[in-house]
């Protein structure tokens, strides 16, 4: 006589309580042997709920029942097989029509009579009770200030099991997630570029491929990272340690909302004002392109901004030389200056950042230096052992090569830390220059940084008859103007 065996476990807790797959398999095989059955195949559903029959292994089993001859189906316990009395009754009826017995290691033959149905009804009731108990536990966890499910990039689970788990920032991944937000907030990075950057940091998906566009988008939109937790329509500040500030999160939301304007595409000509200019007459966003200069004395290229609907749909806008509009924008920036109070605030914050940066750099550098010294000591011991002839040459070469590789990696890590510190100081220098003298900072900034400064000030620049007609300020710029943190000298633009 032949039989199939079906086993299932849905949670780690069940495995610990004696329902592990190995325990079920062992018990079912022994039971089959004692009943005189040969096991034809064992079907396993790992981590699957038994509320419905939509389980891969069970579906495969039921499909094979109609193709292969068996006399019995053996499982450990009814609640391992089904927790829905309707499904249990349906399957039992079909197997009975095929002359197949349903045998439970714990409950015996449940092919007929009320016994099997009662067990299935009890299993269904237990499933509902356990489900409600889990829901209540998760809601209580939320009330206590913890996200019920917190498997987010940058965090690791700590303490307790299942609903009792909390989380804390992961030592390696959390700083990378924070930097991800910081990079994206500048508006200089597309999500595709963020994907490449994460890959270079060895942050990959679970299957080892590049982190998907949707996952990065989800990270950027998740308020959990600044401390907010949400559950069933409710939200509150949680007890977990945030990775970023709400201000940084809000900036990223603004960039996401305006991503068409903010993404820097790789073009042959990277026009400074592309994405900012719009036509007074039709509202269309200006484009830019080069035109050949046919002058024999100066056979170069002239660059123009223009409305793409020029001479169409009645739009009378004109071509404007790129240098002219860029100079006009520069003159408007020349009128701006930050208040002394704002400058002092930035300087004080900068001092804090520099001091914190120095502490982190020195601490990380010393850690790597200590690890390098320990490896060098091991290397010296190996070399002494080779000289004393207490270590064979092959073992020496293998271990020595491993240590040398680790030392080289540590030396590169020290250089990376020092380079990052230099980059941070360079950025701080740019910020201070810009804060103390907006025009000087803007004029001397490289092209990519000028774009960032423009995004700080202008949502849109409206052009009429080759002149700047008005500007639409960004919410940040408008707020600073309203609070008098930015002072506009001379005639103000209409906004």
Instruction: Give me the active site residues, please.
Output: 10
Q: Which of 155, 347, 123, 136 is nearest to 238 (CA)?
A: 155
Q: Exposure of 391 by Cβ count < 10 A (0-12 exposed, 13-18 middle, 19+ buried)?
A: middle
Nearest to residue 310, comparing CAs of 279, 339, 345, 267? 279
Note every long-range contact of 377-385, with CB atoms under 8 Å and residues 24 or more positions apart, other chains counting.
378/403, 379/403, 379/404, 379/407
Q: Measure Cα distances from 360 to 2, 202, 418 in Å.
A: 67, 22, 11
Structure tokens at 449: 């940084």
For residue 176, what are its two tokens?
């990378």
Measure the CA–CA gap between 336 and 493, rounded to whole angstroms.
Answer: 11
In 3D, which of 131, 52, 130, 129 has the Cα closest to residue 90?
52
**Nearest CA-CA partner of 398 in 384, 374, 411, 379:** 379
With a CB cutoff of 8 Å and minimum separation 6, the contacts of 110 are 78, 92, 102, 103, 104, 116, 119
Instruction: Write down the residue that tokens 């293998």 correspond to.
Output: 398
Place of tokens 């790129």: 322
Q: Pairing relation of β-strands 2-9 and 38-46? A: parallel
Q: If you write DSSP's letter for every residue of 72-113 in order, what string do you get?
A: EEEES-HHHH-S-HHHHHHHHHHHHHTT-EEEETTTEE-SSH
Q: Quick one: which of 276, 210, 300, 307 has its CA closest to 477?
A: 276
- According to DSSP, the β-strands at 101-104 and 72-75 are parallel
Question: In the structure encoding, which two tokens stand for residue 445, read together?
Answer: 């900034």
């Amino acid at each position: 006589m032949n039989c199939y065996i079906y086993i299932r476990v849905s949670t780690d807790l069940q495995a610990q309580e004696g329902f592990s797959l190995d325990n079920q398999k062992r018990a079912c095989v022994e039971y089959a042997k004692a009943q005189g059955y040969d096991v034809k195949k064992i079907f396993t559903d790992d981590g699957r709920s038994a509320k419905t029959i939509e389980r891969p292994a069970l579906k495969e089993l039921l499909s094979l029942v109609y193709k292969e001859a068996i006399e019995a189906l053996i499982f450990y316990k009814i609640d391992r097989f089904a927790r829905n009395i309707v499904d249990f009754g349906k399957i039992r009826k079909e197997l009975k029509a095929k002359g197949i017995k349903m045998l439970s290691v714990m409950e015996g033959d449940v092919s007929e009579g009320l016994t099997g149905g009662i067990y299935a009804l009890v299993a269904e009731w237990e499933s509902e009770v356990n489900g409600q108990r889990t829901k209540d536990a998760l809601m209580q966890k939320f009330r206590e200030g913890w996200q019920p499910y917190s498997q987010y990039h940058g965090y690791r689970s700590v303490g307790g099991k299942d609903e009792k788990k909390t989380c804390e920032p992961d030592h390696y991944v959390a700083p990378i997630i924070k930097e991800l937000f910081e990079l994206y907030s500048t508006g200089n990075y597309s999500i595709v570029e963020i994907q490449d950057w994460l890959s270079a940091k060895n942050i990959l998906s679970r299957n080892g491929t590049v982190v998907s566009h949707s996952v990065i988008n989800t990270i950027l939109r998740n308020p959990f990272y600044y401390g907010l937790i949400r559950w069933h329509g409710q939200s509150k500040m949680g007890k977990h340690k945030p990775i970023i500030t709400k201000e940084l999160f809000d900036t990223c939301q603004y960039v996401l909302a305006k991503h068409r304007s903010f993404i820097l595409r790789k073009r042959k000509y990277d026009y400074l004002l592309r994405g900012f200019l719009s036509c007074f007459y039709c509202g269309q966003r200006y484009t830019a392109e080069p035109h050949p200069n046919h002058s024999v004395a100066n056979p170069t290229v002239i660059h123009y901004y223009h409305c793409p609907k020029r001479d169409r749909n009645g739009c009378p806008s004109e071509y404007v030389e790129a240098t002219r509009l860029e100079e006009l924008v520069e003159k408007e920036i020349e009128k701006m200056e930050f208040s002394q109070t704002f400058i002092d605030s930035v300087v004080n914050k900068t001092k804090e950042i520099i001091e914190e940066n120095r502490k982190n750099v020195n601490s990380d550098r010393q850690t790597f230096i200590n690890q390098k010294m320990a490896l060098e000591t091991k290397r010296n011991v190996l070399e002494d052992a080779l000289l004393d002839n207490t270590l064979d040459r092959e073992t020496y070469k293998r271990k020595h090569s491993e240590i040398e590789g680790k030392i080289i990696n540590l030396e590169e890590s020290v250089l990376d830390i020092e380079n990052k510190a230099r980059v941070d100081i360079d950025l701080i220098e740019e910020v201070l220059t810009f804060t103390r003298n907006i025009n000087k900072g803007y004029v001397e900034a490289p092209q990519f940084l000028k774009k960032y400064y423009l995004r700080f000030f202008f949502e849109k620049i409206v052009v009429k008859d080759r002149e700047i007609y008005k500007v639409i300020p960004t919410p940040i710029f408008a707020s600073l103007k309203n609070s008098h943190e930015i002072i506009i000298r001379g005639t103000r633009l209409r906004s």
